[in-house]
Every structure is written in structure tokens, then in C-alpha cells.
Amino acid sequence: MREAPVQYWYNVTRGCVETDETRGQGEDVLGPFATQEEAQKALDTAKARTEKWDDEDREWNERGASPQWKAADDS
């Protein structure tokens, strides 16, 4: 039987990388990540994604909904 690959998690409460065997509670961790290095960068990754999504939301709000969305709202 083949073993599952190790997954890595970043525990935001403890500020450290954990594996499946040492992982804390679900609400305390970000992941899974394929490598320990990816998990170590979890907060930077989350910040970059949040900033990107915030920028996209701002652009969408300034531009307004596309015609397809407006038509769906009118029905």
C-alpha cells in the first residue's frame, strides 16, 4: 500500500510549520501545502492573495457589473 505524501500546515497561533502528525486545530492552521517552504510563507501568500482580491473587488466596484449580471438582477 502506498503512503500518502506528507502535507504541511502553518499554525497561525503558534507561528510554526506543522505536519499532519503534529497539526493543531483546524481554525489555527493554513494549508495544506506541498512543502515545508510553502507552509513557512503561508502568511505572505495569504496577504498577497488578499491584496489581489481587494484590488479586483475595487476594480469591479468602479467598473460595475457586466451586462450579463445586470440582466440576471433585473429578472
Residue 75 C-alpha cell reads as 429578472
The per-residue pLDDT for range 23-35, each reduced to its tens digit, is 878 889 999 999 9
With 0.95 as the threshold, say if the pTM is over it. no
Alpha helix (H) residue ranges in the chain: 36-40, 42-63, 67-74
- What is the Cα–Cα distance from 46 to 12, expressed in whole angstroms? 12
Q: For residue 16, what is the enclosing H or E element? A: strand 16-19
pLDDT in tens, 19-64: 989 987 888 999 999 999 999 999 999 999 999 999 999 988 888 7
